[in-house]
Structures are given as C-alpha cells and as structure tokens.
Chains A and B, each alone.
Chain A
Amino acid sequence: MNDENKKPHREDVCPGKKGKLDLASARAAIAGTTGPEYWRSLEELAGSAEFREMMHREFPKGASEWLDGASRRGFLKLMGASLALAGMTACTKQPLEPIVPYVRQPEELIPGRPLFYATAFELGGYASPVLVESHQYRPTKIEGNAQHPASLGGTDVFAQASILGMYDPDRSENISYLGEVRTWGSFLEAIRGPLSAQKGLQGAGIRILTQTVSSPTLADQLRSLLKIYPQAKWHVYEPVNRDNVHEGARMAFGEPVETQYKLESADVIVSLDADFLYAGFPGSTRYIRDFAKRRNPDGNMNRLYVAESTPSSTGAKADHRLPLRAADIEGFAGLLQFALMANSNPQDSEHTKFAERVASDLSLHHGASVVISGDHQPPAVHAMAHAMNNALGNVGKTVFYTDPVDANPVNQTESLKDLIADMRGGKVDLLVIMGGNPAYDAPADFGFADALKNTKIPLRVHVGLYEDETAELCQWHVNQSHYLEAWSDTRAYDGTVSIVQPLIAPLYNGKSAHEMVALLSGQADASGHDIVQAYWQKQHPGPDFEAFWRKSLHDGWIEGTAFAARTPVLKTASIPKPAPASTAPIELNFRRDPSIYDGRFSNNGWLQELPNPMTKMTWDNPVLIGPAMADRLQLKSEDMVELELNGKKVAAPIWIQAGHPDNSVTAFLGYGRRRAGRAGTGAGFDMYPLRTSATPWLATGLNIRKTGDTYKLASTQGYQTMDTPDGATRPLVRAASLAEYKKEPNFAQEEEPAPGLTLYPGYDYKKEDYAWGMAIDMNSCVGCNNCIVACQSENNIAVVGKEQVVIGRHMHWLRVDAYYQGDRANPKAYFQPVPCMHCENAPCEVVCPVGATNHSTEGLNDMVYNRCVGTRYCSNNCPYKVRRFNFLLFQDWETPQYKMMRNPDVSVRSRGVMEKCTYCVQRINESRIVAEREDRKISDSELQSACQQSCPADAIVFGNINDPNSRVSKLKAQARNYSLLGDLNTRPRTTYLAEIRNPNPELET
C-alpha cells in the first residue's frame, strides 16, 4: 500500500508533458476566485496536479525523495540497523589462504616494485611453470620459472598470452540460467534437487565432461565423486588430444605411457611430423632449450631430420627436411624402420635412399639419437618410433618412459562418443561440462551440439570462462575462474606437480573446477584453496606440512613429484607393418592453430594478432597448399576455395606455403567461432565441420574447387617477395653449413664502414659504465614467437585488428622475419627476430624535427613519446622498419580490465605518436636503482629484456657490451657475429650470429 502511495512521486514529471493544460478550467478557476490573488502561471491557477508536482520538484530530481516519509524516528531506526549490520560484516572472517611470493617477501612490498609468484599455466593437461609479475596485487606479466625443469626460464606463447585471457572483458562475468543472470545461491538451489534425486539412482544420470585432467587434486576429487555416485560417468574430451599417442603406446607396450626426450644428449634427431619446437607439444619449452644448446657449431652440434606434412618452425630448423604428405609419413617410418631393423619389407620408394642415410646416421649414434613422432600421426607411427628408439638403444638415454601425465588417459574420442550415445539414449539427467567447448569443436559426425540441444537433458550445466557455443545450449552457465584467480595443481610433461596459486581474487567471482566438483560431492562451500591443500596434506602428512606447502608454493613445484622413468617392455610382435602409401589424390590435414590452438584462445587479441610462424598470418586460418598444387589448380593466395569432404563443404581462402607437400591441404582449427567475443567471433573459417571422429587429423578424398571469390588475408610479411630478382640474395640472413663454417668461420662478417664516416661527431661510448647491446643467435632461434608476445605484454603494445594488419599497421615492437631460400617445393627457412637495432648512428634520430628520438649515453635509442608530433620521418628513414606508429587510437583507454593489466612501468601510447623497442629501458632502470642502492654495477645476470627472459632457446642475449665478460660481449666476439645492413654505417647495437646448418654430407647433392 505504502509503495503505491509513493509511486507518483518517483516519476519525473515535467509540467505540460504529463497532461495538457486545460484553458477552460483555468478560466473557470479565475472566475471562481474572489479578492486579489497572484498566480505564477496558468497551471498554478488551475491548481493542476502537474503544477503541484512541479512545485514539489523545486529541487532537482532525486533531492526531494529524501523527504519521503523519513521521520527522525525512521532515520534512527535505519542508522541503528545499518550500524549493527556493519558490525556483523566485520565479524565475517575472511578465510586465511596465504600465498607465497617467489623472490621477494611480502613485507618488502613497495609500491611500484613488482612481486613475483610461481604458478603454472595448463594446456592440454600439461603445465607451463611460470612466474607471474604482480604490481600491487595485479598480475601483469607472465615469465618462465627459471628453476623449474620444464621451463628453465622460457615460456610458450599460450602461457605468455594468458594474462590477457584473464583480463579479457568478454569473459563470462555471471552465473546465468537461460541467459539470465543468476546467483550462486540460486544455482545451488537448482542443482540440489537433481543431485539428491541422483543419490537414489547411484548417479546413473550424472555425466561429467572435462578436458584432459592432469591435476592430481581434481582427478582425486572426480574419483571420489564417482565413489559417491558409482553409476555416474566421467568423460574426457578435447579436440587436440593425444589419443594417437596413447594408442601408439598401447600398441607398443600394452599400456599408455608418457614419452619424454632428453634432446640435450641426442646427436641425431628424427622428427616424424612432430612439431616439437612449438608451443602445444608437451615439453616444447624444455625441448627448445635442449635442442638449442646442441646447435652450437663450436660444440658438438646435433643434426635434425624432419619429415613433415605441414611446414612448421621445427621443419624450418631441420638440417634435412622432407616434405611428405601426412599419409606418407607412415610409409617413410616403415622405410626408416626397415633400414634400421630390417624387420619389415616396405615398398621401394623415392625416399628409400633418404631413409637409408638417415638410418645409418641414427645407427652411428646409437644411444644418442631420438625418433619423435607427431601427435597427429596414427598410432602405428608412434609404435614404430618406440620400436626404433628401442632398437637404437635410446631408451633410458635420450628417451624416457613414465606414467602418463593425463590422469585419465582414455581414448577421448571414444569417451565423447559414449557420452553422446548416452545422451541420445536418454540416460543423462545431469550433464556437467567443465571447460571445453564441445558444441563447437566435437567431431562433426557426433553431432554433439545437436544432441545437447535436442535430447532434452533435464539439467545441463556449463562451467567455462566464456559464454560460448556450448554455454548457449546449456541451461546453466557457471563462470569459471581463470587459472590466475584460482587454486589448483597440475603436472608438467615430466610429471612434476606445480601448485597453481591465484594472483588475484576472482574478478567475477568465478568458480574453479575444484569448487564445482566439490559442490557435486556435496561440499557446496569448499574453497579451492582448502581442497587443494587438503589433498596435498594427505599426500604429505606430517608436522612439516606447513614448510612443505610454503616451499612448494614458493618454488612453483613440488619436489619429488616428477614421474620416475620406467622401462615398459616392447611388444615387438605388435609393431605394425606400415600401411601402403596413400593413393588418395588429395589429403586434408587438420592442425591445431599455432596461435589460437583449438579455438580456446580465439578471443585473445595478442594471439589472434600473433603471426603464424611460417605464413606470418594473423586473424585468419587460410588453408595451406603447396606451390606445385597451386600452379596445377591455378590458385593464388587469397583465392577462395570450397573444400568438400564426404559431402560436407567448407569455404576458405588459400595460402600458398612454400615447402608444403603436394596434393595435400592443411587446415588450421579454432577459427570461425560464433560466440567467442570481440576478437574471436567471426574471425577465420570453421574447419571442424569437416573433421570427423574417424579422421581427426588426416582425411583423404578431399575435393577442392575454386569459387572465384577472393578474400583479403592479413599476413604481416608480404608474399610478393618471392617474385623479385634481388629479394632472395640480400645478405640479411647469413647462413652456412657446418663444414663451410669450419673452413671459413668469418664468413658472415663483412667489412664495416670505418668509424667517423659521418657528418656528426661520434660519442665515446667506451667511457660509460654501460653500453647496452643485444646478440641474437639465429642458430638457436626456433621461431617460436614467444618474444613477440612477451614484448607485447611487457610493453603494453596495442592490438590493432585485422583491417589494420592488412594495411600494415601492426604494432609489434619485435617481429620474427621468416626468409625462405631455394626450391619452392622444399626451401630452407630461416627465422630472424628483429627488434630495434639501437644504431649508434641512428638514421631515425637526425631526421626527427622535434628531437623526439635521441641517443642516450649508454647507447639506447630513446623515444620521447611526449615530444613526438608524429611526422613518421623516423620510420621512413629506419632501414630496419622497426618503428611502429599509432595511426589511430589503437590503445583501449576505456576498458577497466585492460587498465589493470598494463605494465605500470611503461607508458601507454596514444594516437599520433611513434613507438618502438626500448631494450626494455624500464627493466634497465629498475636494475639500476637496485644496483645503485647497493653501490655496485648492474650484474650481467640480473637484467634481462622481456624477449630474452621468455626465450626458451636462449637465443636472445642482452647486456652490457662494455663489460668484456658479459654474455653478450662474448657472443658478439664470436666469428659468426654480424650486423644487419652494417654497410649503411648505422652501427647497430643488435647483432646476429649467423645460422649454421649441419647437413649430412652423404645427403648433400
């Protein structure tokens, strides 16, 4: 009742709007008055409700509401109540969940000084151990955990970019029911009934679908849950899974095992379509380090043979690369196996000689070689690789077997198939999908989305970071907490467990998988911290648990959790004979995307704009074909084609990739998302409709048809370089074979212009304490792209979007150029990371009219953003084209999440200014402050640029070139050291160490 009385007052009514002034009534009112009366308007005169309202509203809207019935008595009542309530909130004890800083103690927290915490990023069940830089409790940068055996300081692109994933403004912020925002309480209420109903059925209707789980705690929780509900089932699926690896191991050993490689000890490495030098391959970060260590031409240099179906950065590093269709890899493995073990009798082929030479090289390095098979190769190839490693005596030396990291190493495709069968069979009452996006990425023949939509499962719950395609088809969506917000644990490729400790309270009150499973087990309010800690308390009982826990958090891993090496017995009999070479005219390969993986990172702008290591493609996934096939089909890059496979059709643009095998097409997964967010939605083309459970990686019988349309692609490196006469012969990348290098170690050096050949007086940098310089060892660089993302994260570099990349306005301060050399069908490829050269005679500096770019006495080419007016003359005059211009307002100045994410030590650039690599001047100065306070010089080990820090190959070395003992000085003193475009007399501070390949002399023609 009371409410109704108040209602009219709450509406903002302006006189004349609500009701028309009635002149007749006004006249009547005047006529009806007696004596002198004054009126202010006709409305007042008429005494209308509108006028009274206006009188009431003498003050602005809202002011008069305070008067509404707020008596002194009521006020006191309210005050008393709120005071009492305030007291009560103060009594709610926040749970004590201490997290432990890595390097610096919390009591040392100084505003402006970051703290580092160890945690771990997980992808596909494998942990990337990381340290997270935290500024005032805001995580801002991911770095590798130098003490962890799986990182040694390096990271991978996905881990690097995960910080943006956490601050993604498109992440799901709420629990929702049919798209409407709900509370955690209402979700609890909704699930309580069905859960208790399932109690009686022993959980027969409960199905849980997770992605690969390696978390010991989560696996334990799920197993306990299955004890409470014995009839419930736990299914596992993710599109980029290791089914083939597990099946291959089963074939060879009868059980799934994890294979680890010790590349440090391998003299000869043979990759059978394994892209083991790029993120996504388990252990890649460590493998890159070990591989790069053995690329030193002055040491005992290894040799890499790669047979691959899609040009990859691993293939680019190969000393001998054999482009083969994916279906022919098995045949090649057979040839190799025959040459090694003579236990099969493959058909003679054009690659027999190659295989024999490789085999003899392998045999020469008995116990110091390794054969690695690619995850997407069929089980037989894995089994053959196991057999070959066994025959070569590598097991226990370069190849180690352990228990699988995957806590539930089932065949994921089968697992999902069973789930769908149950769904269609009406056996599922409660489906909980934790992570993953099967509605988008499940095999097309399963029709998962259709099953989810049409089988009328009474309760479907999706727990995920995004309200994605799967969330759309579930009634309930619970927003998941990001790994940087939640407690968990996970295993690295060697089995070492890392505790995942949160860096920040969940931004949107998300729930972790642990909390979700706890809820299903009936512990609705268990916190992630308690669950994880309780599990480890069980594993490590005893009085020293507190110390154990602190140490594990501090170090970032739990000591002694690495799996022990095992020696499974090879079932020689079951090693298959290789299948005959495929005769299908055209094969279609599916590959995880090097930037956005299976699609889960598709809303990550850094990754979307991260150039594919080989094609330099951003924002899109054109299908790759080889040059010969393109000529035959008369296709050009950017032509649209229709791919038809078993009646399913997908349209996509073409990209001609040098070195791609003939009659083969590579399609990258993860694009064409419908509900990804501002960055991912609509980018690229969805290839999942062509991908079936029977042919998840390799399908044959593809029809390819030119549609006549074209599609603009955003590659950061033009493809037109191939058709110019001079392009291939410029001395930008300098390379030689090991034999040539031994004969002529100075081959890369050329006479540099004498000092003093400049109009302007030089500066004696030698007299300074520091002269900053960088050496990039192209022999170590594997083109993994880490430095690009690390730089982007460290230096607040903007994402510009596809249209701008097409024009050429991407902002990366550091890029990795890829150059090809030789035959288009199988060229040699080289990677060259290009940051600012910090030229001592910088061409950019003399042309700036306002002096916005200047040289420091320590040799830095500094950019003064405040002074820059944006003439772009410096960029024109930069021969390395490392300068980047803010043509538009590329930075997002509005989104609050991004404000939290940015590195507070680096200016956020606005429109109209030039920017470029600073050699991470903020890090130099941070080290300088520390060193000066301690009255010493900056030591070589304490200062690393962001690119150097993240480089898993240790290819980038930055430091003081005035110190002859610094690592960078030693590298620059090497014979391989050369300056890029040094003949221009720019005297760059960034120099390169020429690339040396180690080809097998027997295969050299």
Chain B
Amino acid sequence: MDEQTKSVTSSKQAPVIEPGYTFATVTDKISAIVLQRPTSNGWFVGFGIGFLLTMMMLFAIGYLFVRGTGIWGVTIPIGWGFAIVNFVWWIGIGHAGTLISAILLLLRQSWRNSINRFAEAMTLFAVSCAGIFPLIHVGRPWLAYWLFPYPNTMGVWPQFRSPLVWDVFAVSTYFTISLLFWFIGLIPDLATLRDRSDNRWAKIIYGILAMGWRGSARHWHRYETAYLLLAGLATPLVLSVHTVVSFDFAVGIVPGWHTTIFPPYFVAGAIYSGFAMVLMLAIPIRKLYGLEDFITERHLENSAKVMLATGLIVAYGYVIEAFMGWYSGNRYDAFTLWNRLHGPYAFFYYMLLACNIVIPQVLWSKKLRTSPVWLFFISGVVLVGMWLERFIIVVVSLQRDFLNSSWGMYYPTRWDWMTYIGTIGMFLAAIFLFVRILPMISIFEMRTLLPEAEVKE
C-alpha cells in the first residue's frame, strides 16, 4: 500500500477522492445507491429504451436467421460489412476496462479505483455485444461452433492458419478473464451489500454471490493473490486481443488491410475508443448519482490524457498508412489511399480524420480536459470516429481492390442498422441494470484511498 498511498498523498494534482470521507461514509454512500436509493423514473425510462432496442436487435437477428445474411448490405466484393465493423468497434471499446483494471493496477495507479468497476463492467458488456457479431455474421450460424476445436466424429479441426480461428481463442479468452476479474473484484463488495441489505431476497442473492466472504485476513490474502494473478493474465490480453483482431485484416492480401502497422495501431485505437466510452458513461453517472466526490476531475483529466496519447498513436498509424501507400510503390496500395481520399466514401474518411485527429486535439487545453461537458462531447466524437475507422478499413478497402471489373458499393440496410443500434441498446440496458443492482464503484478499494487507510508505522 505504500506506493499507492504515496502516490495519492504526494500528488499535487486534484485529489482522487474529495476530503471529508471516512470508511463508513464511503461505504454508505456507494452501497446506498443500490440499497437505499429508490429506483427513479429516469432509470426506468433509460432501461426501458435499452430493453426495447435489445428486443429490436433480437427481432433483426431472428429475421436474419430465417432469411439469411442477404438481408444485410454485404455483397461481393464487400463480404464483410456492419457486422465486422461493429465487432471490432465493440471489442475495442472493451479494452479500456481491462487496461484500467489490470495494467493500472499493476502500475499502482490507484486513481483507477473509482472507475475500474464500471470500466470492467463496460468491458464485459462491450465484449458481449461484440461477441454477437461473429456468430451471426456467418452464412450458416447454426454451424458457427465449427470454429471451435472440439473432438468430433467428422475428424476435422478448425483451420489453424486462419485469423478467424485465432479470433475465437482471443475473444473467448478475453471474455472469460474479464468476467472472472470483474467477479472476483466484486466479492468483497457483494459481501458488504449482503450485510447491509434489508430485503430478504437481496440478502440471499448477494449472499450466494459473495461466496461466503467474511473479510478474514486469509480471505483478503487469497483475494489479493487471485486478483493480482488475474491482472497479470489480463495484461497481455489488452495487447493481444486487438492484435489478433487486427490480424483478420493484416493477414489478408487486400490493399488497405495488408500492413504491419495494424497491431499497434489497432490496440491504440481500442484504448482510445475504450476511454472515450468510459468517459461517456462516467460523466453522466457521476452527475446523476452525485458521485463527483469519488469520480473527480482528476479521473476525467487522466482519462482525457490517455485519449490524447492513444489518439496520437492512431494519427501516426494513419500517417504511416498514407506514407506506405506512396513509399511501397505498390499501385494497389497507392490506389487504396486515393480511393479513401477521392472515392465514393471519401466523405467518411474526412469525417474520420476530423473525429479522430482534429477535434480531439482540443484536449491539449487543461480547461477543456477538465470540463465534463466538453469531454462528453469529444468522447462521443471519438466513438464515432473510431467506428468510421473500422468502416473505412473493412468496407472501403474491400470496395475497390485489384480487378476494377469487380468493384462494388456497400449500402447498409435497415437490418444492419437495427442490429447495430440494438447492440447499443443492449449495452445500455446492461449498464442500467449494473448500476442498479451492483456497486458501481469498488467500495473497499475506495476505502483504501482514504487517509485513514494509510498504514502508520
């Protein structure tokens, strides 16, 4: 705890927790959101919208299963469309959670304590949203399990040279680790909720989930060990998952895909969009639930700095892509660049440059970096920009490749939109459920940030 405490106390920056709190008040304040605070109408409205959008998504998927992939806008040559764009986008968003939880934990960045819980939850929900797409985008979804290596009477295995198989491993590992990490981190708080709730059913359910946590020293010891181990496991995942996802493209020979810059550039982009999503969620939540004391300006500012840094890496990626288009001397690569700048989707490429590179540069200003309203707006812009980036990579590269006789256009259909917006709805609904039934800020970790927690020699 030493370094942690030091980093808190020695910091001349804004505090990560406002002064005046004690162990009890922290616990009261956070657990009350779940246990005491009445469910507001706003919550019902928000959850209701999310729920309805989820239903719309299920309808769109149901129709997809009945009719086939052809209800979407995908075609030859653009074999991948919204589904893969959304998949990569959601997976990328998930990365912030893991980064905050695992890497910042290992780096002893204790300011993360107030945002890691819902960042992890966000990861989980984003990966769930992402996981839908690879499953449903295949032509015969009922056979999608063939991508898993399982012993079977046919005696066939997946084709391990295919990046899609690597994807299966990467994403399923990522989801599993994220779930475990999140759940283990929840156990002490679940026990707190169990102890504090008056409702009998809540007691039982929280009790079961708390797995008999009593807060003994041995429990804490085991907890810390497990948490650190998982953090160690999750850390490489932050880099590997999106690297593998980028292989889906980099291994292909399509101009615009076949480039070695993709892995780092995808990881940076993932963290970029992930932090944008964290801010998009944190800013309204801290306002609505009065948590400004716990999620302070410092958190916002640190997140904004991460965004600024990763955004610059992404910008570097664009520059390298453009440079290589020229420098490689490969006419197809050069044309891909031309097509991005002048082709039928050029508008979206300029939008992408504006959203991902130009507008986020305002974060250099400390004033804007600490302004929740500005941050909320810029985060939204970045999320749009990162979605466009995937659209440009997937669609615009495929749209015009080697043989000009086979060029085509991609137009998403209403089913594409319904599925995409539906996953946003599902994500929202899950977030609403999460803030209602689980402590959205880690209570016990917040307590470690208090001056009282400082170990006195």
Contact = CB atoms under 8 A, between A and B. Distances in A.
B156 A913 contact: no
Interface in A134-188: none
Interface stretch (B22-30, B111-119, B397-405): B397-405
Contacts of B161: 760, 846-847
Contact of A808 (B75, B162, B335): B75
A727 B404 contact: yes
B408 interface: yes
Interface stretch (A252-260, A554-562, A743-751, A883-891): A883-891
B63 to A, nearest CB: 12
Contacts of B69: 870, 885, 887-888, 912
19 contacts: A730-B402, A808-B78, A809-B76, A819-B405, A847-B161, A847-B164, A847-B251, A849-B165, A850-B146, A851-B156, A867-B146, A869-B144, A873-B79, A873-B248, A873-B252, A876-B79, A881-B76, A881-B402, A911-B139
Contacts of B447: none
Given A817-B403, A869-B144, A881 B77 contact: yes
Contacts of B76: 808-809, 875, 881, 883-885
Interface in A708-754: 717-718, 720-721, 724-727, 729-730, 732
Contacts of B398: 876
Given A817-B403, A834-B403, A875 B165 contact: no
Given A809-B70, A847-B251, A850-B158, A872 B402 contact: no
B79 A872 contact: yes
Interface string B108-151: 00000000000000000000000000000111100110110000
A817 to B, nearest CB: 4
A506 interface: no
A880 B76 CA distance: 11
B162 A849 contact: yes
Contact of A871 (B137, B156, B157, B344): B137
A981 interface: yes
B401 A718 contact: no
A869 B146 contact: yes
B159 interface: yes
Q: Helix, strand, loop or mixed for chain A's interface? A: loop
A346 B444 CA distance: 104
Interface in A847-865: 847-851
B402 A879 contact: yes
A25 interface: no
Contact of B80 (A868, A872, A911): A872
B75 to A, nearest CB: 4
A124 interface: no
B336 to A, nearest CB: 10
B75 A887 contact: yes
A810 to B, nearest CB: 8
A815 interface: yes
Interface in B50-101: 67-71, 73-80
A73 B138 CA distance: 66
Contacts of B344: 720
Contact of A849 (B164, B331, B343, B404): B164
A815 B405 contact: yes
Nearest to B342: A724
A871 B68 contact: no
Given A808-B408, A869-B140, A881 B403 contact: yes
Given A807-B75, A843-B253, A868 B405 contact: no
Contacts of A725: 335, 338
Interface in B392-449: 398, 400-409, 411
B161 to A, nearest CB: 5
A804 interface: yes
B79 A875 contact: yes
B68 A889 contact: yes
Given A851-B158, A876-B254, A881-B76, 13 more contacts: A721-B407, A726-B331, A834-B403, A843-B253, A848-B159, A848-B162, A849-B164, A850-B158, A868-B139, A869-B138, A872-B79, A872-B139, A879-B253
A703 interface: no
A984 interface: yes
Interface in B215-243: none
Contacts of A912: 68-69, 138-140
Given A726-B334, A887-B68, A870 B140 contact: yes
B73 A869 contact: no
Interface in A558-584: none
Interface of B: 67-71, 73-80, 137-140, 143-144, 146-147, 156-159, 161-165, 168, 248, 251-254, 331, 334-335, 338-339, 343-344, 398, 400-409, 411
A877 interface: yes
Contacts of B163: 847
A889 B67 CA distance: 8
A721 B140 CA distance: 33
Interface in A361-406: none
Contacts of A718: 404, 407-409
A883 to B, nearest CB: 7
B284 to A, nearest CB: 38
Contacts of A809: 70, 75-76
**A807, A873, A876: residue with the most chain B Cβ atoms closer than 10 Å:** A876
A876 B77 contact: yes
B420 to A, nearest CB: 18
Nearest to A887: B70
A869 B139 contact: yes
Contacts of B80: 872-873, 876
Contact of A846 (B140, B162, B168, B334): B162
B404 A887 contact: no
B138 A720 contact: no
Contacts of A808: 75-78, 408-409
A849 B405 contact: no
B140 A726 contact: no
Contacts of A880: 402-403, 406
B131 to A, nearest CB: 15
A670 B357 CA distance: 55
Contact of A870 (B138, B156, B158): B138
A717 B159 contact: no
Nearest to B73: A807
A732 B74 contact: no
Contacts of B401: 879, 881
A851 B139 contact: no
Nearest to A843: B253
Nearest to A873: B164
Nearest to A811: B76
A94 B80 CA distance: 59
A871 B68 CA distance: 13
Task: List 7 A-B pairs, minimum CB-CB distance, nearest first.
Answer: A870-B139, A912-B139, A887-B70, A872-B79, A888-B70, A817-B405, A851-B159
Contacts of B404: 718, 721, 724, 727, 730, 732, 819
A851 B157 CA distance: 8
A730 to B, nearest CB: 7
A729 B404 CA distance: 11
Contacts of B331: 726, 729-730
Contact of B162 (A819, A873, A879): A873
Contacts of A914: 139
A980 B405 CA distance: 13
A68 to B, nearest CB: 45
Nearest to B163: A847
Interface in A621-660: none
Contacts of A730: 331, 402, 404
B158 A849 contact: yes
